[in-house]
Structure 1
């Protein structure tokens, strides 16, 4: 029997059209989504509109409006706003999410961070126990958006972000650090642009998932290789350090998708070869 229900075009609002939000918007548009988004720069909003992305200039550090902007009404809201750019991070994001809930937004995907994990050893989604101010702030933001009134909320705890214009060879080049033996926890932009559309296509969202590639070389190994490939002075490390390793396998199992980056040294070499 033919369905008589009207077709509803999937729609996504992305708050923060930056390193992740902008390429995500373009990826989703190519897959048939209606996409709108925000940026804090009117010049950038104009450029994005010229490139076909419906962008609104909105700085959430300014007093929030009484109601959610009509331009941003969508089925799903993706929050891609890093804590360094927002005053009173948890409270502000909670208020933004409540405005979205009052406007009828049904789902919220929040790009959180693995700073919510403290201590040493392997960390799964159940192990959130921050031991830093940044981690405490991020966990408070997770709790705020979960209590916003939006029916479905998924917090994606992202490991360190690389790819695009984030070149890891420049991160630590020529500097001295402790903890050279600690494992790196990273995720590449190309994996996020594969995983997030697959997440949006699902309706059985869990509350939280880690995103971290399965390869965890030491900081010394990874950042030395990354710097040398870019003809930059390698960092110097003092001592070892056990550190923590983020387990991102639950996401892969749930989606039935493997990480594209499974060897960071091969990824570094391939990135260099493409330049």
Structure 2
């Protein structure tokens, strides 16, 4: 799968479907969780009409009070016959992690096809870089999973890409940090192999810059990676993250080459650089903010 785009033909399709120049600035986010909720609030502040779904009635009420039209929807349950009116929008962001859904690829494909039948014109699926197996540098064309999780994620991408929505982008996210996801706790006090393997991470703050910029673009590629350009070793990063939180550092045995995810195509396409370019500086800044609060 390539990030290259036939801009002229895509612009023509966008004009036919009412996408060009941000026509119909309406977004529905299926999955108002760690990423979906702050994304909804960010888009609301930028003038979008925002709706979304959650499995929690309390959260639905809280977000409705914040101006986000929120419905309770568990996609593990039988789907409705038609796309929910509460989620009527030009663009849908599918932001549901695999751990929350049974038969992940099948379920997401059914939701995406329902969206297509409901008139959705653009769909952004938050996939993951687990679709890449092997060693070395990985770009968008290198999807070849070597794990059950990666195979499941690639199957979900294929199901979503074939759903019938005119434009679909699978945004392959590296490991997620920031917000309440504290990397110092991820591996603290445990033992692992592969201490020399590079980390592949993206901070919430960068996702909340990149995704609105993607939604504003008139023409999407089919896949893009999101991974900060700094790839220190797992040993160096997670030991430092734990120590800054006064937690026992993990112990690593062995080296390991691992893989590095190239996230440069995204920033080049958007003309928008990553804010986090040094993970140790990010850890220090996060630790300082926590100490002040």
TM-score bucket (shorter structure): over 0.9
CA distance in 2, matches of 1:128, 1:9: 33
CA distance in 1, matches of 2:176, 2:78: 30
User: 2:153: which partner in 1?
Assistant: 138
CA distance in 1, matches of 2:134, 2:160: 25
User: 1:24: which partner in 2?
Assistant: 39
Residue 97 of structure 1 aligns to a residue in which SS?
Answer: helix
User: 1:217: which partner in 2?
Assistant: 232
Contact 2:105 2:159 in 1 (8 A): yes
Question: Normalised by the size of structure 1, how large is the TM-score?
Answer: 0.97
Q: Which moved more, 1:82-91 or 1:47-56?
A: 47-56
CA distance in 2, matches of 1:92, 1:176: 35
CA distance in 2, matches of 1:87, 1:169: 29
CA distance in 2, matches of 1:134, 1:14: 23
Deviation at 1:59, TM superposition (A): 0.1
1:77 is aligned, of 92, 102, 108, to: 92
1:23-44 deviation line (CA, Å, top 9, x unaligned): 0000000000000000011111
Which residues of structure 1 form unaligned runs of 5+?
none
CA distance in 1, matches of 2:57, 2:132: 36
Deviation at 1:47, TM superposition (A): 1.4
Which residues of structure 2 form unaligned runs of 5+?
1-17
CA distance in 1, matches of 2:62, 2:253: 45
User: 1:232: which partner in 2?
Assistant: 247
User: 2:193: which partner in 1?
Assistant: 178
CA distance in 2, matches of 1:156, 1:233: 34
Alignment: residue pair count: 270
Residue 200 of structure 1 aligns to a residue in which SS?
Answer: helix
1:143-200 deviation line (CA, Å, top 9, x unaligned): 0011000000000000000000000000000010111000000000000000000000
Deviation at 1:8, TM superposition (A): 4.8
1:91 is aligned, of 106, 109, 126, to: 106
1:249-270 deviation line (CA, Å, top 9, x unaligned): 0001000010000000000000
Q: Which moved more, 1:52-61 or 1:148-157?
A: 52-61
Cα RMSD of the aligned pairs, angstroms, is 1.1
Dislocated runs of 4+, deviation >2 Å: none
CA distance in 2, matches of 1:151, 1:8: 15
CA distance in 1, matches of 2:150, 2:93: 20
Q: Are 2:193 and 1:166 equivalent residues in the alignment? A: no
Q: Which moved more, 1:42-51 or 1:59-68?
A: 42-51
Deviation at 1:49, TM superposition (A): 1.3
Contact 2:123 2:167 in 1 (8 A): yes
Residue 59 of structure 2 aligns to a residue in which SS?
Answer: helix
User: 2:122: which partner in 1?
Assistant: 107
User: 1:257: which partner in 2?
Assistant: 272
CA distance in 2, matches of 1:105, 1:181: 44
User: 1:245: which partner in 2?
Assistant: 260
Contact 2:25 2:48 in 1 (8 A): yes
